[in-house]
Chains A and B, each alone.
Chain A
Amino acid sequence: MRGTLRRMRAIIRKEVLQLRRDRLTFAMMFGLPIMQLVMFGYAIDNDPKALPTALLAADHGTMPRAIVAALGNTGYFAISHSVTSEAEADALLQRGEVQFVVTIPADFTRRVIRHERAQIAVEADATDPTTTGNALAAVEPAVARALARELTGPLAGLAPRAGPVEVVLHRRYNPEGSTRDNVVPGLLAVILTMTMVMMTALAVTREYERGTMENLLAMPIRPIEVMLGKIAPYIAIGSVQVAVVLVAAKLLFDVPMIGSLALLSAATLLFITVNLAIGFTFSTVARNQLQAMQMSFFFLMPSILLSGFAFPFRGMPGWAQLVGEALPATHFLRVVRAVMLKGAGLADIAAELAALLLLLGLVGALALARYRVTLD
């Protein structure tokens, strides 16, 4: 037992020394999370506001003006062009200079007063549905509010009446629909998947590529000792990455941390270990560092796209959800979001933790089975 500890310590010490001297890798491990945080935290917003809008108004009465002002107040529409013809509006939309064209016909006010159904047209460049979705949903309530204010006195009878059913919308856990609140916790899963899998895969293949594995295998050291010794330093590095993301989430992005930090830490440790085991398994298959890198990227791609990080998990077809369920990032994402945003407790995330444990068992067994004690 003392021998085991000493051999593991020797491997850990060697890995740390090598890591410290590999400046680029070292910089990458800490630069990457910061870069991703800045990009995802500051640059990406799934709910864009102040979108350029062209106004084609043939009616300049107070009612249309109130409606335009109400649209502006939603925050989504910023009138950037006032045009006088449909052709002009079309050209702006075609060139992508505006996201929306709002058309108010000449007889708008007259038709409202005459109890004829008046129309407003909102045309959107819907090539990217994410950009326009929320804005379009905000149009009708905005118009209704504007009309309610305008249709007073003799026109009060025209005001839209309350229907028999009132729908109460309640956006829980993220009432403002902030993208950051969703993305920054999700980044934990992506950053850890990216660095942990790749680093371990490289750490072991490097030994084969540089010819030092033959020397290591000729020494009295057991596979489990090599494996644990090699992944231990990366657990520490992963923990630092997690701390960086959590501190940034709190200080820079104001992402809430409702649940228990201890619970989140324990789940994170489990997730890091699963990723390291996957990286170790890759290293037993890859013949050189390039292949290890390529395999890591093949793994990273679905972890970003199918885990629910980048796109809604429930929007995927069944087979894609099945693939997603097999990825540790999917389960960890749910854990992080649940703990941080929803204040979930152990019982709420037990199923996801069990899935991670199962994956760890499978991958760990595969890694140990594939690790060769000989050069055969």
Chain B
Amino acid sequence: MTPAIAVRGLVKRYGRRTVVDNVDLTVMPGRVCGFLGPNGSGKTTTLRLICGLLTPDGGSGTCLGEDLIAGRAAIKRQTGYMTQKFGLYEDLSIRENLEFAGDVHGIADLRARVDAALDRLGLAARQHQLAGALSGGWKQRLALAACVLHAPRLLLLDEPTAGVDPKARRDFWDEIHALAATGITVLVSTHYMDEAERCHEIAYIAYGKLLARGSAAEVIAASGLVAWVATGEGADRLAIRLRDAPGVTAAAAFGASLHVCGPDQAALAAAIAPLRGAPGIVWQEAPATLEDVFIHLMRQVPDNAGQG
């Protein structure tokens, strides 16, 4: 099976700053791949390189079997790209926006397709409202509907659920999985850990470099992180005393409990040893979380944002 995305050594520079630094990425058809990383890590730039909105300064590859540069037009025809900022026309109605997208893609039975999309969205009754009048969650769902109208084989979604309430996020992800079930490949960038866990696989990028790849469980296992959880009265307040201790990557309070992690089992045990005598607090070993891994990875890479 040909991969939906297969790029090697992608590089994009702005002036002296390397925003995407030698990124390799392969995604097989029908997979939902989560694209994670801190702000300014190059997620958006990578997505734009893949869909032909930016010209890479280095690297090569294929997207849906077409060459990344020579096949740009063919890639655009079969790809749906949802921008981070709402990219539809706020002064056009919901229906007009969908019809515009359909016309540009040359869809044959446009009327029926738009009707079907409106029904699926549950926006048939509001189709003549201006898109700008929709709430954030509805705007995102409309944007998604507009970029899947032409039945693309690849979906690139750039932080589609930023600023959207949990219910709308859940609906949005149900739709993504429904689309993936029909064979569409999805590459979706996000900041949310729960969303990362809903992906088949994840790719973690920081400061332009791809740092981790695989399923959530694989990424956690590969990190080699270990963790402890402390519960009991006042456990959360210990976070501040552990944060800078040697052997501790992160110590964070979750409600009344404390979650501590570190790369080395013995060092972490030594770090928490002085606190274990506190009365009423129970310490337990726990699996590391995806969030632990990302904080750990971020600390390892020197910040190159200041070099520009």
Contacts and interface: CB of A to CB of B under 8 A. Distances in A.
A375 interface: yes
A210 B90 CA distance: 9
Contact size range, A: 20 to 34
A268 to B, nearest CB: 30
A211 B85 contact: yes
Given A3-B106, A220-B104, A215 B83 contact: yes
A18 interface: yes
B166 to A, nearest CB: 25
A7 interface: yes
A214 B106 contact: no
A6 B77 contact: no
A214 B103 contact: no
Interface string B108-133: 00000000000000000000001000
A269 interface: no
B105 to A, nearest CB: 7
A21 interface: yes
A219 interface: yes
A375 B101 CA distance: 20
Given A14-B89, A374-B54, A375-B48, A219 B76 contact: yes
A294 B81 CA distance: 33
Contacts, number: 72
Contacts of B106: 3, 6-7, 220
Given A218-B76, A220-B77, A374-B54, A10 B103 contact: yes
A325 B73 CA distance: 41
B87 interface: yes
Interface string A199-233: 00000000000111011011111000000000000
Most chain B beta-carbon neighbours within 10 Å: one of A21, A210, A214, A218: A218
Contact of B92 (A18, A214, A376): A18
Given A17-B92, A217-B53, A374-B54, 8 more contacts: A7-B106, A212-B88, A214-B85, A218-B81, A219-B101, A374-B52, A374-B53, A376-B54
Interface of A: 3, 6-7, 9-11, 13-14, 17-18, 21-22, 210-212, 214-215, 217-221, 374-376
28 contacts: A7-B106, A10-B103, A11-B104, A13-B100, A14-B100, A17-B96, A18-B92, A21-B91, A21-B130, A22-B91, A210-B90, A211-B83, A212-B87, A212-B88, A212-B89, A214-B53, A214-B85, A214-B87, A215-B87, A218-B52, A218-B76, A219-B76, A219-B104, A220-B77, A220-B104, A220-B106, A374-B54, A374-B55
